[in-house]
Amino acid sequence: MPNIQPGTAQATGAQQGIICPKCHHTNAAGMRFCAGCGGQLSSASNTVKQPDITCDKCKSIIPRGAKFCPSCADPVNSCPECGEDNPVGAKQCRRCDKAMPINCSNCKAVISTAIKFCPDCGNPTAKTCVKCGTALPDGAKFCVNCGTAP
């Protein structure tokens, strides 16, 4: 395997780097374990470059695994499916349109928006009227059944 020195042109073809699926560190071709995290590098699918993550605020490229945008310091709110940064509170990913997870209002566990009760504490995920128990639509200022403020 040829020795590629830092700062020199990246090799092409079979000598292309392998991207670690855990930490996204670029490793030299032929490596079996990641130099960044020690994770096992397995298949040729690791050499496929994933789409860049872009900041939802300033549209700058964000390195995978970053907690904040390096350009504007906005916290990264990654989609669990594609990794794209999304605004806090987004219901759907702006890249893949999958439902974004939410935090349980009781125990703060990360849960899917598709479930009705938190699997960790049993807390209902949908807001309900305190007086009559009717499920409230998102953003409702009053119960649609009895008119009580939530």
Contact 16, 47 (CB under 8 A): yes
Q: Phi/psi of residue 47, each to 5°?
A: -80, -10
5 inside domain: yes
In this prediction, residue 99 carries a pLDDT of 87
Does the reported pTM lie above 0.85? no
| Sequence letter at residue 146 | C
129 inside domain: no
If asked whether residues 1 and 45 sit together in one domain, one would say: yes
Rounded distance between C-alpha atoms, residue 87 and residue 116, angstroms: 23
Supply the range of the domain harboring residue 17: 1-49
123 inside domain: no
If asked whether residues 61 and 23 sit together in one domain, one would say: no
9 inside domain: yes
As for how many domains the chain has, the answer is 2
Q: What are the mean pLDDT values of the chain's consecutive 10-residue runs (150 residues total)?
A: 36 56 81 86 56 92 92 92 89 90 87 85 86 86 90
pLDDT tens string 42-56: 754 444 556 789 999
If asked whether residues 44 and 69 sit together in one domain, one would say: no
In this prediction, residue 16 carries a pLDDT of 58
